[in-house]
Chains A and B, each alone.
Chain A
């Protein structure tokens, strides 16, 4: 622990760029206000004081996809809504991540019918799947923590 102590006195921290960027990205995940169905209510509750997503730096829900880097898809995706979701996903700048929150986003849920997409991963790449109908807000916090662990393992040469 000797050398780090001396360096800290000089106000210098050494790390590699990957680690620094990953640390910055995982501690300021900004989701987009995007609620489809019932799971959106549990997502809103996560913002409230009891579960407090602000601990993870993620309470800043952005209305515009251009300013967001996390797309949480809570609720059922229907075929009518699909083009909008694809457009929103394309408008988000890199780096971006997707959490499929709830059974309907993961696999279509209970709704195996003519207008429901059976899982958003048929159209957009998903980083974390969270099952539940709806999953509790603690599950969303677990999803954010799993995503943070995933971001930690990323590297610039793969992601950009």
Chain B
């Protein structure tokens, strides 16, 4: 309590969450407020801690793919990709070219879907409700395409160790072509609604500024880092899946405020369409799964008709095969930032340690720093702009 002149100010502690429409999941924030001004923010997490790392130590490498879907559940394909790349690096498996290009297509489609979801819910938080409906309309087209290849919209478990599960069809490619041709018009529509909208600019400009030096010091990655002016993307710095062969720009911001983070994500959607168009032109023929005896499942048609394939399928699925001893850390550029897997293998069928490095976890830790001295409404804008998903924060 402080006394200034004839007024006395008292600090109030306000609890926000874990059930709250604007916390994007089960996040709890303890706010130390002086009036409307936030003096201190204390995020409390762990309400969705499902013990995925411990479960990873008790399940085979193949079974763990299912858990990776459910981490950042808005970007399941990318999570599958990160895990698969880590295990492939550990075992020295080389993925066929067709599967690599399909992986890039799925990863970029997933990036667009994740950013659309972010934009819809973020606009809803700020108060622009119509954008929510428009973004979800486009996202449905992407989810339909995922359902075509994997049978699932949200948790496809499609990209697996050694390649991808099923081949893409001509119908999928037709839908993809139509999507790529029309999507930039939709992005232009969203920009017309929001980018120069005075309310949007007023709510987002100069809110929760994170300068470049602090962004690096806090370990932030992804659009949060790029909006602060650091031109860094893991697809360029440590290329995987042939990203060095695609032409795309890395959008960056200048100030590191919420408005820059919004602009960076909008531009990333456009760049993803650019990559998709390039990938679609050159899909090579060939197998979609590497032929590695101890970890990649044989195709379903063979399993149903051939006894050796059936025995092999049974052995792999029940964990009879072991993979080489060693450790590896492999990370990719997820829509939210760097998703890394540190896998320690002791030579058995289950990982000895499966560590998941989550970008949302580290980005969220910078929230108290970013929001010191801002208003409560600005805090909502800042929280939304970091784009967290509690499944990845808590694992």
A-side residues, CB < 8 A to B, are 32-38, 40-42, 44-45, 48-50, 61, 63, 75-76, 78, 80-81, 84, 88, 110-116, 133-134, 136
Contacts and interface: CB of A to CB of B under 8 A. Distances in A.
Contacts, number: 90
A115 B50 contact: yes
Interface in B221-280: none
Q: List the 8 closest pairs (A to B, CB-CB), nearest first.
A: A113-B51, A38-B73, A48-B136, A81-B47, A33-B21, A111-B50, A115-B49, A80-B47
Contact of A84 (B19, B66, B132): B19
B117 A34 contact: no
Given A49-B137, A113-B50, A81 B21 contact: no
Interface of B is mostly: loop
Nearest to B53: A113
Contact of B154 (A49, A113, A134): A134
Nearest to B74: A41
Contacts of B117: 41
Most chain A beta-carbon contacts within 10 A, residue among B18, B47, B52, B140: B47
A112 B67 CA distance: 12
B48 A45 contact: no
B384 interface: no
B312 interface: no
A73 B331 CA distance: 33
A35 B26 CA distance: 7
Given A33-B21, A48-B137, A113-B55, 19 more contacts: A37-B25, A37-B390, A38-B154, A40-B25, A41-B154, A45-B140, A49-B133, A76-B48, A78-B49, A80-B47, A81-B47, A84-B19, A84-B47, A110-B67, A115-B50, A134-B153, A134-B154, A134-B155, A136-B153
B54 A114 contact: yes
Contacts of B73: 37-38, 41
A36 B133 contact: no
Most chain A beta-carbon contacts within 10 A, residue among B47, B50, B55, B74: B50
Interface string B131-169: 011001101100000000000011100000000000000
Given A48-B132, A50-B137, A84-B18, A37 B51 contact: no
Contacts of B347: none
Nearest to A133: B155
A110 B47 CA distance: 17
A32 B19 CA distance: 10
Contacts of B26: 36, 81
Nearest to A75: B48
Q: In which size bucket is the chain B interface? A: 20 to 34
Interface in B23-78: 25-26, 46-52, 54-55, 66-67, 70, 73-74
A23 to B, nearest CB: 29
Contact of B51 (A32, A75, A116): A116
Given A37-B73, A78-B49, A49 B136 contact: yes
B351 interface: no
B48 to A, nearest CB: 6
B391 interface: yes
Given A37-B73, A38-B391, A88-B19, A48 B133 contact: yes
Contacts of B46: 78, 80
Contacts of B48: 36-37, 75-76, 78, 81
B356 to A, nearest CB: 14
Given A38-B73, A41-B74, A110 B136 contact: no
16 contacts: A32-B19, A34-B19, A37-B390, A38-B73, A40-B25, A48-B133, A49-B137, A50-B136, A84-B19, A88-B19, A110-B66, A111-B55, A113-B52, A115-B49, A115-B50, A136-B153
A117 to B, nearest CB: 11
A37 B48 CA distance: 7
Contacts of B67: 110
Contacts of B47: 78, 80-81, 84
Contacts of B132: 48
Contacts of B19: 32-34, 84, 88
Contacts of A112: 55
Contacts of A61: 21
Given A37-B390, A84-B19, A78 B50 contact: yes
Nearest to A81: B47
